[in-house]
Amino acid sequence: MYRKLRSQYQLLLMSVPCMVLLILFTYVPLWGWIMAFQDYSLSKGIAGSPFSGFSHFADLFRDDRFYLVLRNTLAMSGLSLATDFVGAIALALLLNEVRVRLFKRTVQTITYIPHFVSWVVMANIVLGSLSPDGGIVNDVLMKLGIIREPILFMSKGSWFWAIHTIAGFWKELGWSTIIYLAVLAGLNHDLYEAAEVDGAGRFQKMWHISIPGLMPTAALLLILATGNLINTGYESQFLLGNGLNIDYSQVLDLYALDYSFSIGDYSYGVAISVFKSAVSILLVVSVNMAARRFGGFKAF
């Protein structure tokens, strides 16, 4: 053991300082989780606040609203995970087939621009396009004679998930593609050469070389992403949401924000955060185990 340690001193030199920093900035602040088991008040601090056991968790699980927002959270993140995952791989494969380099680079650069446009702006564009009062979508549908009366897109609660997914897809597709493009670029070129010599067509190369080449990264990203199914953020849902679709648009992060900020109940907010971490870890560990069992792949 000691000898092994000594022989790996270079590896230790490379990794230990990094790990110390990582643990310091992500794990040390976890003492804040104590708040979830207290009636925390800012003026008393952690040391002075009384303990309340699991009461915040009990409140959380008793709240009907919680199950509704949990459903919305999982549904919306599931939808965006699926579309983003498939979309990004498909776009990477399509871009990979483009041989005019300038065209390829231009499209690549353009598709990732919306990533930098804030949700405030994107939401306004989406809401403007879907408006029943001169929005382009309704105008086009009316001109084509598909509908007679403008559709009130944002009043239909059940449509919210679809609208949100499409908006998110539009915004993040290009950005998600970058990593797959990098992996494709790194694949061994000789394989393609050899396949061509064997008379393999475009789709055969795609199927037998590109896709298997992407698989390890894709599987890894997918596993990591399942851990984030419960972390949707709240900005997009908040900006696109309104009273008529609130039963579909409210997500866990927004619910938590309402409590920990608007209401000032830090303990409740932290309890939600602890719950989220537990779910994330459970998800990512079990998906990883499943992948190892059935696909022979593991992320860790």
Partner 1 sequence: MKRHPLLAGAAVIAAAALALSGCSGGKDEPSAPGPSAGKSASPSASGAAAPSPDRSPIKVTINSIDPKFSPDNDVAQKLAELTGVTLDLQYVVGDLTQKLDLWLAGGDYPDVVVMHPKEVGKYIDAGAVIPLEGLIDQYGPNIKKAFGKYYNLLKAQDGHIYTLPAPYLAEETPADWEAPWAVQYDVLREAGYPQIKTLDQLFDVLKAYYEKHPTIDGKPTIPWSGVGGADHPDWILNNPAFQAAGKPDHSWFLIDDRNNVTLNILSEDQKRYDKFLNKLYLNGMLDKEFFTINYDEAEAKTAQGRTLAGSLPAWFLKYPEQSLREQGKPERQFANIELLFDENTPDHSNTITPINSNNNWQISKNAKDPARIIQYVDFLLTDEGQKLINWGIEGKHYDVVDGKRVVNAAWKAKKTEDPEYEFKSGPTGPFYWFTYGDGAKLSDGDYATPNTKDYWQSTYDDATKELLSKYGKKVFSEFMPPVERVPAWIWQLAEPTEGRAEFKRVQQVYKKESPKIVYSKTDEEFEANWNRYVEEIRKAGSAKVEAAYDRAWKAYIDQYNQTMGQ
Partner 2 sequence: MRRRYGAADYAFETFNYVFLLLLGCLTLYPFLNLLAISLNDSIDSVRGGIYLWPRAFTLGNYRAIFQADNLVAATLVSLARTLLGTFLSVLFTTMLAYTISRRGFLFRKGFNLILILSMYVNGGLIPYYLLIKNLHLTNSFWVYIIPGLIGAFNVIIIRSYFEQLPEGLAESARIDGASDFAVLFRILVPLSAPVLATITLFVSVGHWNSWFDNYLFNSKQHLSTLQYELMKILLKSVQQVSTDAARSGKVDRAVANTLTPQSIRASMTILVTVPILFVYPFMQRYFIKGITVGALKE
The tokens describing 228, both together, are 């984030």
Q: Residue 258 or residue 280: which is nearer to partner 1 going by CB?
A: 258
- Out of partner 1, partner 2, none, what residue 150 binds, judged by CB under 5 to 8 A for its kind, is partner 1
Binding region for partner 1 (CB under 8 A): 41-45, 65, 123-124, 127-128, 131-134, 150, 152, 154-155, 239, 241-244, 246-247, 258-259, 261-265, 268
Q: Say if residues 46 and 35 touch (Cβ distance below 8 Å).
A: yes
Q: Say if residues 171 and 122 touch (Cβ distance below 8 Å).
A: yes
Q: Residue 22 or residue 263: which is nearer to partner 1 going by CB?
A: 263
The alpha carbons of the chain give a radius of gyration, in whole angstroms, of 24
Q: Residue 141 or residue 179: which is nearer to partner 2 going by CB?
A: 179
Smallest separation (angstroms) from partner 2 to the CB of 273: 6
Alpha-carbon span 12 to 223, nearest angstrom: 28
**By CB under 8 A, residue 118 contacts partner 2:** yes
**By CB under 8 A, residue 143 contacts partner 2:** no
82, 97, 155, 263: residue in contact with partner 2 (rule CB under 8 A)? 97
Q: Scanning residues 266 to 295, which ones bind partner 2 (CB under 8 A)? A: 266, 269-270, 273, 277, 280-281, 284
- Out of partner 2, partner 1, none, what residue 55 binds, judged by CB under 5 to 8 A for its kind, is none
- Out of partner 1, partner 2, none, what residue 145 binds, judged by CB under 5 to 8 A for its kind, is none
Q: How many CB atoms lie within 10 A of CB 7?
A: 9
Q: Residue 134 or residue 199: which is nearer to partner 1 going by CB?
A: 134
- Out of partner 1, partner 2, none, what residue 141 binds, judged by CB under 5 to 8 A for its kind, is none
Q: Residue 92 or residue 239: which is nearer to partner 1 going by CB?
A: 239
The tokens describing 287, both together, are 């998906």
Q: Say if residues 294 and 63 touch (Cβ distance below 8 Å).
A: no
Q: Scanning residues 160 to 199, which ones bind partner 2 (CB under 8 A)? A: 170, 173-174, 178-179, 181-183, 185-190, 196-197, 199
Q: Residue 174 or residue 241: which is nearer to partner 1 going by CB?
A: 241
**By CB under 8 A, residue 58 contacts partner 2:** no
Alpha-carbon span 189 to 86, nearest angstrom: 24
Helices 160-186, 211-226: crossing angle, 10 deg rounding? 130
Q: Residue 12 or residue 46: which is nearer to partner 1 going by CB?
A: 46
Alpha-carbon span 167 to 161, nearest angstrom: 10
Alpha-carbon span 262 to 199, nearest angstrom: 65
22, 58, 86, 140: residue in contact with partner 2 (rule CB under 8 A)? 22
Burial 26-61 (b: 16+ CB within 10 A, else e): eeeeeeeeebbbbbbeeeeeeeebeebeebbbebbe
At which residue do the structure tokens 């992500």 appear?
Answer: 26
- Out of partner 2, partner 1, none, what residue 179 binds, judged by CB under 5 to 8 A for its kind, is partner 2
Q: Scanning residues 144 to 163, which ones bind partner 2 (CB under 8 A)? A: none
Q: Which stretch of DSSP H or E encloses residue 282? A: helix 266-295
Contacts of 287 (CB under 8 A, 6+ apart): 222, 223, 226, 227
